[in-house]
């Protein structure tokens, strides 16, 4: 069974299709978009090994020719070097203005290829075929594309909406448990930011979906994507509400910078810890009950995930230095840190009005490993 979430952005509307076997059926899904039966696919080494043959066969089954560029796997691929390599390759493959480029992989590939499609010939259409949970529930939807600068993550990019998103739930079966759970950090974020019932559902069903239940996986991806699509519709270019999607991210970005954007802390793990810290901060500001942050941490613990600063391996800078790193976040406006706080589970809002001392207190207690809540 395949579900569809429609994103009715005027003039750039698209469908997000969610279900089992969409990679092998990609030809039939993509064919209606094509003016000629040829696509250029960009992927990475890991995804190519696991799934490229299936995608190519699916395209061939509908008479669609494809060429593929296989990039190195990993965050360092989101660089000027791999970006210009991709754009030049697309030009060499004679990809025309009316053609379609396929971004086949996780968030790195989706972001880089989306940006390449945004600038190639001043913009060609692209299809996202996300293969990680993080890409399926977050980065493939909403049109944020880009690469990293040596000065910081995602500092170079463009808004460029995909023409179609194909989220194949079966592809999640080849993820390591750690990568799957990192993606789940973004899934639970949706419940926390705007849908208490979804969070209840995740508390009941999270362990089963992590263990491989396909129906539950499909439901969690669909609900996440529905929520993201609603927010993107209200505020495509992040003038307001879209910032809600950054629940946990102000803390997360500081933690990623402190741990070197590497294996010590995956992005989704940082989001999960960041959500717990954002709820802790909300509780200390008297915005929500003390039970709320405890419930967030309990759910992460039940999922076998990192839930606070003490769970990050290796040393961390002190609280002042972490706060300084939070100030480097690209979402700082006029030097003011913006936080997504909550009045309860599912009730988040954006604010800049947070006393520095309270943030420092949350970080200090987290660093000392003191039991919170
Ligand atoms: N990942 C946050 C957003 O798309 O706005």
pLDDT tens digit sequence for 189-221: 999 999 999 999 999 999 999 999 999 999 999
How many CB atoms within 10 Å of residue 120?
21
- Which sequence spans correspond to the domains of the chain? 2-174, 177-367
Is-catalytic flag, 297? no
pLDDT at 329: 65
**Candidate of 162, 242, 252 to mutate for ligand 1, largest count of ligand atoms within 8 Å of Cβ:** 242
User: Which ranges constitute the DSSP H helices of the chain?
Assistant: 26-30, 45-47, 53-60, 80-92, 107-119, 133-134, 177-194, 196-211, 214-234, 249-258, 267-284, 291-302, 319-326, 356-367
| CATH topology identical between 2-174 and 177-367 | no
- For residue 166, what are its two tokens? 């194909």
Is-catalytic flag, 122? yes
Q: What percent of the chain has pLDDT over 90?
A: 92
pLDDT at 205: 98
Is-catalytic flag, 253? yes
Look up the CATH number of domain 2-174.
Answer: 3.40.50.1970
Residue 151 has pLDDT above 50, yes or no: yes
Give the C-alpha distances (Å, rounded to integers) separating 103 from 73, 140, 204, 226, 256: 13, 9, 34, 21, 25
Residue 372 has pLDDT above 80, yes or no: no
What is the mean predicted confidence (pLDDT) over 223-251? Answer: 96
* Fold adopted by 177-367: Dehydroquinate synthase-like, alpha domain (1.20.1090)
What is the reported pTM?
0.96
Q: How confident is the model at residue 152 (pLDDT cuts 50, 70, 90)?
A: confident
Pocket lining for ligand 1, CB < 6 angstroms? 138, 142, 144, 242, 245
Residue 292 has pLDDT above 70, yes or no: yes
**Catalytic residue from among 189, 217, 253, 295:** 253
């Amino acid at each position: 069974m395949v579900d569809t979430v429609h994103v009715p952005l005027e003039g750039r509307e698209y469908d997000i299709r969610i279900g089992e076997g969409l990679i092998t059926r990609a030809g039939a899904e993509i064919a209606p978009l094509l003016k000629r039966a040829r696509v250029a696919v960009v992927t990475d080494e890991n995804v190519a090994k696991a799934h490229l043959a299936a995608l190519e066969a699916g395209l061939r089954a509908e008479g669609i020719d494809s060429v593929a560029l296989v990039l190195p796997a990993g965050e360092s691929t989101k660089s000027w070097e791999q970006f210009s390599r991709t754009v030049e390759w697309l030009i060499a493959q004679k990809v025309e203005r009316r053609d379609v480029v396929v971004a086949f992989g996780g968030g790195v590939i989706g972001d880089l290829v989306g940006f390449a499609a945004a600038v190639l010939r001043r913009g060609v259409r692209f299809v996202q075929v996300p293969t990680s949970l993080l890409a399926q529930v977050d980065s493939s939807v909403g049109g944020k594309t880009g690469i990293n600068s040596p000065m910081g993550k995602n500092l170079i990019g463009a808004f460029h909406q995909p023409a179609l998103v194909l989220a194949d739930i079966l592809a999640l079966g080849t993820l390591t448990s750690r990568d799957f759970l990192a993606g789940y950090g973004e899934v639970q974020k949706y419940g926390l930011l705007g849908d208490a019932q979804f969070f209840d559902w995740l508390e009941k069903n999270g362990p089963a979906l992590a263990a491989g239940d396909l129906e539950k996986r499909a439901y969690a991806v669909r609900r996440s994507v529905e929520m993201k699509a609603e927010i993107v519709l209200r505020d495509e270019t992040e003038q307001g509400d879209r910032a809600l999607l950054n629940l946990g991210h102000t803390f997360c970005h500081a933690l990623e910078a402190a741990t070197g954007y590497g294996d010590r802390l995956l992005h989704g793990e940082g989001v999960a810890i960041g959500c717990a810290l954002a709820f802790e901060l909300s509780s200390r500001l008297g915005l929500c009950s003390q039970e709320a942050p405890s419930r967030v941490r309990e759910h992460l613990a039940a999922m076998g995930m990192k839930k606070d600063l003490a769970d990050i391996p290796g040393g961390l800078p002190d609280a002042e230095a972490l706060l300084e790193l939070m100030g480097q976040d690209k979402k700082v406006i006029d030097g003011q840190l913006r936080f997504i706080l909550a009045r309860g589970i599912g009730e988040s809002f954006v604010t800049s009005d947070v006393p520095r001392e309270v943030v420092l207190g949350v970080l200090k207690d987290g660093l000392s490993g003191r039991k919170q809540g």
